[in-house]
Amino acid sequence: MPNTVGKIMIVLGVILILGGLAFLPAGFGPDGDPAVMAGGMGVFSLGSLATGLGLYLNARQLRSGGAEKKPEKKKDAAIKLPPCEACEEAPQVMICANHGAALCASCMHTHFDAKACLLTPASRQMTKTASARA
């Protein structure tokens, strides 16, 4: 419905703009009337406002996706990470690539050795394994 209203507003605005421009020749010239010129400018600006409102309504209709479009269901839920291998309570945050240990944030400081450990985010590891399976 707003799409139709937007189109009607655009057409009405264009008609008012053309009507406002029709007043201009009567306002110019040696015997031009400033009141007619002011009226023409008022009608022109009202037409511009109506056209802008029509364009705004059409843009809002496009942005909302229209009334006929149903909302899409999310296919991918958040990746559920398995629990930590050390405490088995919190979800994994990092995986040590050298030792193969999957750790949560609270257990990471007990395992980490700057010379021997190479940590990668567990979510990155999950997406790599999921893409390898597919």
Mean pLDDT along residues 3-25: 91
| pLDDT score of 20 | 93
| pLDDT score of 71 | 56
Q: In what order do the strands lie in the sheet with 119-121?
A: 102-103, 94-96, 119-121
| pLDDT score of 17 | 95
- Interatomic CA distance for residues 53 and 5, integer angstroms: 10
Contact 3, 62 (CB under 8 A): no
pLDDT tier for residue 24 given thresholds of 50, 70 and 90: confident
User: For residue 82, which amino acid is it?
Assistant: P
* pLDDT, mean over the chain: 79
Structure tokens at 122: 């567990």
Kindly report the CA angle at 129 between 95 and 122, in degrees rounded to 5?
A: 25
Give this prediction's pTM.
0.47
